[in-house]
Chain A
């Protein structure tokens, strides 16, 4: 039996080595290791072997089975990899052919910047507040210390719906609506559409603004500076320089305009910054006592700061857009660039 098994092993290994395809390997498995295969056939004679020899024969048959099995597996692996390689070679693609791109939508530039600004101030505890686009003259002007004959109204060319009702010229009326509803502390941001009778390459009759307001018992001009500097550094980068200079707004006192170092020349002077190295970024100041009076806040007890910035302008600076009119042209060739 020992000779039989050894001869079978030799024959099987030769057959397997000669197998040219996976089917032949499978047939060899059936022939030698199958339920009715040659090894089983030989082991049928195990009963005739003496009891002393039987364990050795059993062991030998397992060795033979293992050797044949191993040869089968390795031949199969070898043949598979040849077959895979042939198939894969036939499936090679042209790497340079264009891929299928999922279609990509684009958020409008104004909202990209608005969201970024909101997130920066949200980190400082500001929340969003909204108000109507069509406003009363009271909220838009009078409550903000800008009575009818105030010269500051000249710079706000206002759309009227009827006497006393206007398209808001800024989102500042939202601060009054907010202060009427709650006592300090108040920390809000009011983004939204605003309207002015003005239309040329640098003016759109509708544009977007964000107004910010912080009121509490101990808010100072130093806080205003710190808050807005933090904002600029977040939005434009730490290297951006910031300058506050006195200005005039009816609803703040003291009032300031904040400039940032030119985004094009970095402060050396260029056409964009009219060689000054600075770009006007926003208006701000400490809330005027008259505004607090209209809100029912006690000026002796509370102080606060407010700021208002043109989102369009910030967006245009960031993306070097030459004219505001691109923003509202709704030309997909423009919008899909950003």
Chain B
């Protein structure tokens, strides 16, 4: 809401600087969005009076005016507008003036005739009005007066954000009340004294409220002989400062009073109402209405409307209908001031996708008492500004008046909650300053009546908040609470997850963080197994790309890898720890699990002047997966996987005991292409929840060797199909207790070893805790290994 400072001053005296005011409002909870100095960009523009208009000697479309701006002589100004006549007063920019947009006025010649300034249209001095021609000012404007002063452009506008609990702040009076309480000033609410004339309202029209639950109060007044026309400048200026466009005196008054009191009003063209009566009812399903914003809308049967005898004329609390709109021909108006149920207005507003000044106030809760004041205030203003006659009497359908709540606050509770001891007198003074009525108070507590505008106050904590606000949060002391022992540990794996994350970073991987969304197409492109295609579906996704909750992190990581390679990143090494989701039949909530996913692509070792780059291959990913398993103290076995995500012959399922912990491999070419990638990508995904169930115990001490190791190489030739891993396994089993480690240091296939054969070179390391080994010891062990390999694989010594 935009708060004009000069308008605000009508209700409360503000004698602090704008900066101090803004700070104080902030500390009251009135959040300042912006502070705008109106007219800042309008300099050297004055009220001028046209004293002569003559044709331009060389141009048809330009006239030469003499305009008096209060100087010694009138200024000669060439002008292309047509709507002015001699004697008119217009905004006149003199030489040296600046206008919005940085536009500067200089002395210049127009077709040979000197022009000493410019007469301005409304939009040229920053007003919202977009009418053609010069802005013709009122006749009593003072020639030579700064236009900003004349038009009220020298105002400051504070734009505030009103929190949803404080409907009462969405009004000038509401804000003024808060500031009056804060500064100890008087709140001035304009007095209303109506002069009623003519036939009593109930003899002319009637109001039937069919749904008193959604419309607890409905008030109306009738105004005759209305002269619809433009509003006076002061009213236009206030509305413009508030960010609204003046329309006509009737609409402007309802808007003005809405901004002033927070009470939405609606004016119907009474003559247009069928049978000239009002029915407050629910709409029928698909009942049509043309709303004031020019839309043809269809209502549903849970929406409240203000109808005449036949059709809806207004969506209750949201927007009026075009059929009974007040316009130039209007002579009689029915002025509505009501209280509609907040939830009902909110639902209708959302249902229609239609938010208005009115709906925003009603859905937060209007003030049922203010309805009466606002109605009379508007009636009086229309009487004054549109020379209308107010029919006698008022319609007030208010079958069950709201009963104000009563709240008791023991003073000690304030101390207990805030941690500051505020004297009972001060607590009471604050509460009373905000308009709460003191019903009773004694040494220990106060009991107050809550004004109906304060829908947010219903309990002791709410009163404490009021006290805290007005006392000022800055004045509440600061203390550091002592540490407290909770009886339960809520996230026992938190530290281990963190340690694991850091472990992966220490391996050179960068942490990725993808949205938890997915979609069918992505899962299909990634060729994940069928079980992954059953996903949790969102009812209202942001777009088709985020239609589901992800069942796997793999598609995201393939996408990340592909994109980064395409960006030109030479080495892609990433991981993500995060949730995956699956629908769950029985349970209220879907299943959620945590996975760790890994991606490798591009170079594993970057090019360096000392060596060339090495591309990632399967064994980089395999080693990484093994490191992950080792981190959790488990040893996995690889099995050929059948996932189509990965390319045949480079894919593996990781089995630990009976459990398949995860899958990894080289992304199949077709899948990579579907992610716009034509380079090798390796991806893995493991079940983090399962890994976290594995708690490696404290590592136990092993003797540090005192005698030197003895290494032997053994190259054997076997059939190509023999898995090298099996040779390692058998060598380890047969090498005896002196064998400490066995590794493969070379694999060779070629003519020298024969077709269908390969040479595998093993490196065997022997060591004893008791003595230095002799050649005889190691030879004996090597012979045993060779014998076993010969027996099992017909291995030949190379």
Cβ contact of B508, chosen from A102, A255, A256, cutoff 8 A = A102
State which residues 407-446 of B face A: CB under 8 Å.
416-420
Alpha-carbon separation in the docked complex, A229 to B487 (Å)? 27
- Chain A residues contacting B418 (CB-CB under 8 Å) are 220-222, 254
B27 and A245 within 8 A (CB) = yes
Alpha-carbon separation in the docked complex, A110 to B511 (Å)? 10
A161 and B538 within 8 A (CB) = yes
A108 and B417 within 8 A (CB) = no
State which residues 144-166 of A face B: CB under 8 Å.
149, 151-152, 154-155, 159-162, 164-165
Given A229-B478, A246-B465; A331-B563 close (CB under 8 Å) = yes
Residue of B nearest to A94 (CB): B609
- Distance in angstroms from A202 CB to nearest chain B CB is 15
State which residues 79-137 of A face B: CB under 8 Å.
97-98, 100, 102-108, 110-111, 115, 124-125, 127-130, 132-136
B480 and A226 within 8 A (CB) = yes
B590 and A161 within 8 A (CB) = yes
Interface size of B by Cβ–Cβ distance < 8 Å? Answer: 97
A187 and B564 within 8 A (CB) = no
Alpha-carbon separation in the docked complex, A230 to B538 (Å)? 40
Given A205-B546, A333-B569; A248-B417 close (CB under 8 Å) = no
B508 and A205 within 8 A (CB) = no
Cβ contact of A105, chosen from B26, B469, B479, B506, cutoff 8 A = B506
Cβ contact of B417, chosen from A186, A216, A220, A226, cutoff 8 A = A220
- Distance in angstroms from B785 CB to nearest chain A CB is 36
Residue of A nearest to B346 (CB): A149
B539 and A162 within 8 A (CB) = yes
B462 within 8 Å of A (CB atoms)? yes
Alpha-carbon separation in the docked complex, A248 to B167 (Å)? 12
Cβ contact of A151, chosen from B164, B480, B498, B513, cutoff 8 A = B164
State which residues 161-176 of B face A: CB under 8 Å.
163-166
Given A105-B508, A133-B516, A246-B28; A152-B484 close (CB under 8 Å) = no
B347 within 8 Å of A (CB atoms)? yes
B294 within 8 Å of A (CB atoms)? no
Give the residue among A151, A230, A327, A333 with the most B Cβ atoms within 10 A: A151
Alpha-carbon separation in the docked complex, A295 to B539 (Å)? 29
A327 and B513 within 8 A (CB) = yes
Alpha-carbon separation in the docked complex, A205 to B518 (Å)? 13
Alpha-carbon separation in the docked complex, A223 to B539 (Å)? 42
Alpha-carbon separation in the docked complex, A164 to B416 (Å)? 37
State which residues 530-564 of B face A: CB under 8 Å.
536-542, 546, 549, 556, 560, 563-564
- Chain A residues contacting B651 (CB-CB under 8 Å) are none
State which residues 443-499 of B face A: CB under 8 Å.
456, 459-462, 464-465, 468-469, 473-474, 476-491, 494, 498
Given A107-B502, A161-B538; A135-B546 close (CB under 8 Å) = no
Alpha-carbon separation in the docked complex, A202 to B481 (Å)? 35
- Chain A residues contacting B164 (CB-CB under 8 Å) are 151-152, 154-155, 248
A256 and B473 within 8 A (CB) = yes
B486 and A187 within 8 A (CB) = yes
B491 and A214 within 8 A (CB) = no
Q: How many A-B residue pairs have CB under 8 A?
A: 254
B579 and A105 within 8 A (CB) = no
B148 within 8 Å of A (CB atoms)? no
B484 and A214 within 8 A (CB) = yes
- Chain B residues contacting A248 (CB-CB under 8 Å) are 29, 163-166, 456
A247 and B417 within 8 A (CB) = no
- Distance in angstroms from A31 CB to nearest chain B CB is 35
A107 and B505 within 8 A (CB) = yes
B505 and A106 within 8 A (CB) = yes
Interface code B501-513, partner A: CB below 8 Å = 1, 0 otherwise? 1101111111111
Given A332-B510, A335-B512; A185-B485 close (CB under 8 Å) = yes
- Distance in angstroms from B772 CB to nearest chain A CB is 28
A178 within 8 Å of B (CB atoms)? yes
A330 and B514 within 8 A (CB) = yes
B34 within 8 Å of A (CB atoms)? yes
B610 within 8 Å of A (CB atoms)? yes
Cβ contact of B29, chosen from A97, A204, A247, A289, cutoff 8 A = A247
B504 and A105 within 8 A (CB) = yes
B488 and A124 within 8 A (CB) = no
Interface code A275-297, partner B: CB below 8 Å = 1, 0 otherwise? 01000000000101100000000
- Distance in angstroms from B103 CB to nearest chain A CB is 24
A127 and B486 within 8 A (CB) = yes
B334 within 8 Å of A (CB atoms)? no
B608 and A100 within 8 A (CB) = yes
B504 and A178 within 8 A (CB) = no
Give the residue among B478, B502, B512, B606 with the most A Cβ atoms within 10 A: B478
B516 and A253 within 8 A (CB) = no
Query: Can you report 20 A-B residue pairs in the complex whose CB atoms are below 8 A from each other?
Result: A104-B508, A111-B513, A125-B482, A130-B491, A133-B516, A136-B588, A149-B342, A151-B364, A154-B164, A161-B590, A164-B588, A185-B485, A197-B540, A206-B517, A216-B484, A220-B418, A221-B468, A225-B477, A225-B479, A332-B510
Give 5 A-B pairs besides A127-B490, A253-B461 with Cβ atoms closer than 8 angstroms.
A128-B494, A133-B579, A149-B346, A152-B164, A276-B32
Which 10 residue pairs across A and B have the least CB separation, nearest first? A125-B483, A220-B419, A222-B419, A246-B29, A248-B163, A129-B490, A254-B465, A185-B484, A103-B508, A149-B343
